[in-house]
Structure 1
Amino acid sequence: MIKKLLKHLYSRIVPSELAVFPEIDVDLDQFKSLLKGKVLNAGAGWRDVSHLVDGELINQDISWPGDERTNIQIYSPLHRIPVPSNYFDAILCIAVLEHVENPEEVVPELYRALKPGGHLILEVPFLQPEHKVPTDFQRYTKDGLVRLVSHHGFSVQQIKGLFTVYHTLYWQVYLWLHLKKTITYLILRVLLLRPLLWSARRSKTYSDTLASGFQLVATKQRASPS
């Protein structure tokens, strides 16, 4: 009885772990002018970005056991995309690189597939908890991400930290307090999570050293060999 009561109270007063984060549209809407022509959504998962694209959206991903998705046009490893060089006008790669074992092979493949003058829009985690979908290999600092894409030919146009310090803290604290469902932990959730959620929704305090992740926009300058 007590366990059921705690579970009910928990679901009523504690927001979900991702409730604090804005929808992906909020991040990407600013780039709609770049998402024209043939646009690759690399590592698409279940994410639908079709309403942001003015042109042809092509979703790519690896296949999963029991995969029932109908939105994927290209099934392939991300470091071997079966398209000609200089093919896409823009590439989205959102929260994907942390899940690939070989980013040093993936980034040059994205470069190869992108047209000269095309844009790569990339988002990666920094101070985020591990999230296996199904694997999770790395995190990126600002300098590390710039180095990775620049080393493989991209010209970085902009990079910024994602979300506020309160977003970063909320996710960490949420997972810590999610470990146990006791009265003590329930009280701590109310005392800590609600103020963090309130602050995250109102604060404009951004910090690259405490960023939840980074968002990078880069361009390709030269054509790849056919």
Structure 2
Amino acid sequence: MNAINYLKHNWGIKKALNNKISIEFKKITGSVVDLGCGLRPFERDILNYADTYTGVDWANSLHDTKADIIADLNQPLSIESESFDSVVSFEVLEHLSEPQMMLKEANRILRKGGVLILSMPFQWWIHEEPWDYQRFTRYGLEYQLKKAGFTDIVIEETTGFWLMWILKLNYQSMRLIRGPRLVKKTTKTFLVPFWFSNQWIAMYLDTIWREDKETAGYVVTARKPS
């Protein structure tokens, strides 16, 4: 799973994603391809259920990558049709100028009855610019998936209002860390306990004050028809 550093301003979203995605991994079988794999943070967890794991990513990634296949997900993939039992893709769709191409290709390379698991941010700041192109509501995601040929679509919010709001606040508070090295270090020393506590409180509030129209993102599962 994504490694969690509880001293960071945004550990809450990684924890929320890990919690949601780990449940969906139980649907994985056989051979798995990870579209936009990056450093393959979920490989070990996926292989608890899958037989094989293949990572796909592009050469222009702003992060390091450990891809088995280098490919532009905005273009058709040089992968045979119906090659995989499961397709996963985490926090990638927003970075594609042609997201429908990736979804159609995911459907094509899946065997009949195969599962797709993906996550995507919704109320989240612009990141990895200039490769940050869109956000979809749950209805937009459902439309895109149906258009690509998927069925049995299930969409769940990654967070509620409180963690989403606190994450936005914490990202803004990062702007306070500036000036000489000693000043920055001192400021961060005061911010770390603020970040640590407010994310735990926000996650608790999300359990008692539920709001499905406010979320940092979505986790989606869908299937290719048998």
**Bin of the TM-score, shorter chain as denominator length:** 0.7 to 0.9
2:16/2:158 contact within 8 Å kept? no
In structure 2, the residue corresponding to 1:158 is in which secondary structure? Answer: strand
The letter of the residue matching 1:197 is Q
Mapped pair 1:218 → 2:213: no
Q: In percent, how many aligned pairs have the same letter?
A: 21
Give the match for residue 102 of structure 2. 106
The letter of the residue matching 1:19 is W
Check 1:110–1:163 CA distance in 2 against 1; reply closer, same or farther (3 A cut).
same
CA distance in 1, matches of 2:203, 2:149: 37
Give the match for residue 56 of structure 1. 52
2:24/2:221 contact within 8 Å kept? no
The structure whose Rg is larger is 1
Instruction: Please list the CA deviations of residues 60-90 of structure 1 after superposition, one character each: whole Å capped at 9, or x if unmatched.
Output: 0001389864x31111111322111111100
Q: TM-score, normalised by structure 2?
A: 0.80
In structure 1, the residue corresponding to 2:143 is in which secondary structure? Answer: helix
Instruction: Please list the CA deviations of residues 11-33 of structure 1 after superposition, one character each: whole Å capped at 9, or x if unmatched.
Output: xxx94222223075422221233
Check 1:169–1:65 CA distance in 2 against 1; reply closer, same or farther (3 A cut).
closer
CA distance in 2, matches of 1:89, 1:152: 17
Give the match for residue 96 of structure 1. 92
Q: TM-score, normalised by structure 1?
A: 0.80
In structure 2, the residue corresponding to 1:123 is in which secondary structure? Answer: strand
Give the match for residue 156 of structure 1. 152
Check 1:162–1:155 CA distance in 2 against 1; reply closer, same or farther (3 A cut).
same
The letter of the residue matching 2:35 is A
Structure 2 stretches of 5 or more lacking a match? 1-5
CA drift of 1:153 comes to: 0.8
Q: How many residues align?
A: 207
In structure 2, the residue corresponding to 1:116 is in which secondary structure? Answer: strand
Give the match for residue 71 of structure 2. 76
Q: Tell me the C-alpha RMSD between the 2 structures.
A: 2.9
CA distance in 1, matches of 2:129, 2:53: 23
Structure 1 stretches of 5 or more lacking a match? 1-13
For residues 195-210 of structure 1, the aligned pairs below 5 Å read 196-203=198-205, 204=207, 205-210=209-214
| Equivalent position to 1:29, from 5, 22, 25 | 22
Check 1:195–1:166 CA distance in 2 against 1; reply closer, same or farther (3 A cut).
farther
Check 1:178–1:73 CA distance in 2 against 1; reply closer, same or farther (3 A cut).
same
